[in-house]
């Protein structure tokens, strides 16, 4: 199995966006955030998503590079952007960064995006809040694949939700999940996969999933004037909500983090079930994996690498050159991207 260093993956991702006509800033931001999924062991949001979620979508005009992101409305504690189909990494990073900066003044700030491209791993953006003593929240609605509870038609999306909560000495809490588990399968080698495209019609496992999905879709859809439900027939029409809560506005940040640390230790020292080796908190496994992979590299299965090489050659990317001479520096994105150890 091939092992690539994070800098090599970033170089590959930058090269792809540049070859497809993107700017240095777009390519740098895309690479900075996409690689975080690979580091956390969620390669279906990283290297495995490169073809269908990004290259194909750009070639089909679903994601549009070089868009001038417009400010629809703005105030001391809110921001609404129209992304025009721009890369989700660019739009999500920008709106979360803005929400964080506004929250530092207002206490709480909400950002919203109309017409964002594929958002990728939402935890890549909510974790930005941690370095600023903020709680970060982000969610969005996706294309409809799931039937309503008691229904038979594709009406709801496989919608993601992420919440990042800073801690002191312990790992931060990082919730990053889909509101339905129906897309999860295992391949023949036992690896966790998410098929693309999903099955024609999917079902919710519980009524709780259904109820949470309704709320997420109405807030991220209706609030951004994005088509919802069965009207949402076009891919690329993504409404995004980002929320930042500045902890020092409400409580001394050390007191807050001490509370989080105490809670984490209570959870981790609870009496374990016989079959459980360890009690983990949301995001803990991913933080550990990111620490390990940032040092030892990201393993890429042979079949995934073979398809990636074919993809890059089909669009004219010098993938060997990117691997041989990766650029360590960011490309001037102006985004406060987290490190693997954040």
Q: What is the pLDDT of residue 332?
A: 35
pTM of the complete model beyond 0.85: yes
Distance, in Å, from the CA atom of 158 to the CA atom of 19, rounded to the nearest integer, reads 30
Phi first, then psi, for residue 308 (nearest 5°) are -65, -40
Distance, in Å, from the CA atom of 108 to the CA atom of 248, rounded to the nearest integer, reads 11
Place of tokens 């709106």: 95
Q: What is the pLDDT of residue 333?
A: 33
Tokens of 121: 């791993």
Annotate 59-123 with DSSP letters as a single string.
HTTSS-TT---EEEEEETTEEEEE-TT--HHHHHHHHHHHHHHHHHHHSEEEEEEEEE-----TH
The closest alpha carbon to 130, from 247, 267, 251, 34, belongs to 247
Which letter does DSSP use for residue 221 in this model?
I
Fold of 2-258+280-324: Ribosomal Protein S8; Chain: A, domain 1 (3.30.1370)
3-state secondary structure (DSSP) of residue 7: helix
Place of tokens 């010098």: 318
The closest alpha carbon to 342, from 209, 211, 214, 165, belongs to 165
Q: What is the pLDDT of residue 340?
A: 36
Distance, in Å, from the CA atom of 185 to the CA atom of 171, rounded to the nearest integer, reads 28
Q: Which helix (H) or strand (E) holds 182?
A: none
Full pLDDT tens readout for the chain, 342 residues = 899 999 999 999 999 999 999 999 999 999 999 999 999 999 989 999 999 899 999 999 999 999 999 999 999 999 999 999 999 999 999 999 999 999 999 999 999 999 999 999 999 999 999 999 999 999 998 888 899 999 999 899 989 999 999 999 999 999 999 998 655 554 555 554 555 556 678 889 899 999 999 999 999 999 999 888 888 756 667 999 999 999 999 999 999 999 999 999 999 999 998 888 899 999 999 999 999 999 999 999 999 999 999 999 999 999 999 999 876 544 333 334 344 343
Domain ranges of the chain: 2-258+280-324
Q: 176-182: list long-range contacts, CB under 8 Å, 24+ apart.
A: 176/121, 176/122, 176/123, 176/126, 176/282, 176/283, 176/286, 179/209, 179/212, 179/213, 179/216, 180/146, 180/156, 180/204, 180/205, 180/209, 180/213, 181/205, 181/209, 182/146, 182/158
Q: What is the pLDDT of residue 194?
A: 55
Please give the C-alpha separations between residue 176 and each of 149, 165, 301, in angstroms, as whole numbers: 23, 12, 24
Q: What is the pLDDT of residue 342?
A: 37
């Amino acid at each position: 199995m091939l092992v690539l260093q994070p800098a090599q993956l970033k170089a590959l991702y930058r090269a792809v966006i540049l070859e497809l006509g993107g700017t240095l800033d777009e390519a740098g931001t895309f690479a900075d955030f996409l690689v975080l999924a690979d580091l956390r062991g969620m390669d279906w949001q990283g290297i495995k998503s490169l073809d269908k979620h990004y290259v194909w979508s750009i070639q089909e005009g679903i994601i549009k590079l070089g868009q001038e992101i417009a400010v629809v409305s703005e105030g001391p504690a809110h921001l609404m952007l129209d992304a025009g189909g721009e890369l989700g990494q660019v739009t999500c990073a920008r709106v979360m960064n803005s929400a964080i900066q506004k929250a530092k003044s207002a206490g709480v700030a909400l950002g919203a995006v109309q017409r964002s491209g594929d958002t990728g791993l939402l935890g890549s953006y909510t974790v930005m809040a941690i370095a600023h003593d903020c709680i970060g929240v982000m969610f969005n609605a996706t294309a409809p694949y799931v039937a309503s509870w008691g229904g038979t038609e594709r009406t709801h999306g496989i919608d993601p939700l992420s919440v990042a909560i800073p801690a002191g000495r312990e790992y931060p809490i990082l919730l990053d999940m889909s509101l339905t588990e129906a897309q999860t399968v295992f391949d023949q080698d036992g690896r966790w996969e998410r098929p693309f495209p999903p099955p024609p019609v999917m079902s919710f496992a519980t009524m709780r999933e259904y109820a949470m999905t309704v709320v997420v879709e109405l807030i991220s859809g209706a609030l951004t004037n994005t088509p919802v439900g069965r009207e949402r027939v076009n891919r690329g029409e993504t409404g995004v909500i980002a929320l930042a809560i500045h902890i020092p506005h409400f409580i001394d940040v050390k007191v807050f983090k001490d509370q989080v640390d105490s809670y984490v230790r209570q959870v981790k020292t609870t009496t374990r079930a016989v079959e459980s080796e360890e009690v983990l908190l949301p995001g803990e496994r991913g933080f550990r994996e990111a620490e390990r992979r940032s040092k030892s590299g990201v393993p890429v299965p042979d079949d995934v690498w073979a398809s990636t090489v074919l993809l890059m050659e089909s669009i004219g990317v010098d993938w060997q050159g990117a691997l041989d001479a990766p650029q360590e520096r960011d490309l001037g994105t102006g985004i406060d991207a987290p490190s693997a150890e954040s």
